[in-house]
Amino acid sequence: DQQVKQNSPSLSVQEGRISILNCDYTNSMFDYFLWYKKYPAEGPTFLISISSIKDKNEDGRFTVFLNKSAKHLSLHIVPSQPGDSAVYFCAAYDRATNKLIFGTGTLLAVQP
Amino acid sequence: DSGVTQTPKHLITATGQRVTLRCSPRSGDLSVYWYQQSLDQGLQFLIQYYNGEERAKGNILERFSAQQFPDLHSELNLSSLELGDSALYFCASSVGGGARETQYFGPGTRLLVL
């Protein structure tokens, strides 16, 4: 039972354009959401987060949007750069169990 | 460099064997988390320790066990290994006990069971 879903295994974008990565969740107890980025042969690194009391959080080129009614969040990267090519994991915090639930990841390829 | 170290980087073993994966958290971090990433799977939470005590448990098999030592390093023991245990095992650490805090991940241990 996948509580956090990233339905696009991969995404290819041209350098300079916008990258949009999507994530859906099923559990209404999730109240905090995070995005992690992972390069090959490295561990995931924290990118950006958003609390359920907000609908948008911005950090430089990265913006996360949260639509609670749809149980959907998205990560926007503008403008995309080749160095952004990585696997992006969406994660949700379950306050009932104190656990982070990760999605399966989306491989982003930014073409020069 | 996240400051979290994991050893070994690679491990090849046979079915039925037992292995130990080691993790040293960032200096000052009290929590250690273990995750498993199998092919085409996301990061599956296994277990969390906070200051030496088990804090949260995820989908950890009974054949697997972990502990956190007084110096805060942690070990994940995998026994009676099966082919399906082949995966990347990540350790992460955070300052406090809440899993919503930023977790800093190590580079992982790649386990191959033949």
pLDDT tens per residue, range B70-85: 999 999 999 999 999 9
Q: Report chain A residues touching chain B, CB-CB < 8 A.
A: 4, 6, 32, 34, 36, 41-46, 49, 89, 91, 93, 95, 97-105
Q: Please report residues of B whose CB lies closer than 8 A to that of A32.
A: 100
What pLDDT, on a 0 to 100 scale, did the predictor assign at position B47? Answer: 96
Burial B57-80 (b: 16+ CB within 10 A, else e): ebebeeebebebeeebebbbebee
Percent of the residues in chain B that have a pLDDT greater than 90, as a whole number: 88
Q: Is the omega angle on the peptide bond into residue A9 within 30 degrees of 0, that is, cis?
A: no
A89/B97 CB distance under 8 A: no
Residue of B nearest to A90 (CA): B42
B100/A101 CB distance under 8 A: no
The DSSP call for residue A105 is -
Q: Round to the nearest angstrom and report the end-to-end CA distance of chain B.
A: 31
pLDDT in tens, B43-97: 999 999 999 999 999 989 999 999 999 999 999 999 999 999 999 999 999 999 8
Checking if the pLDDT of B2 tops 90, the result is: no
Percent of the residues in chain A that have a pLDDT greater than 90, as a whole number: 92
Structure-model confidence comparison of residues B39 and B94, the more confident one: B94
Identify which of B2, B56, B97 has the shortest CB distance to residue A99. B56
E strands, A60-98, are 62-67, 72-77, 86-94
Consecutive H or E run containing B50: strand B43-50
Checking if the pLDDT of B98 tops 90, the result is: no
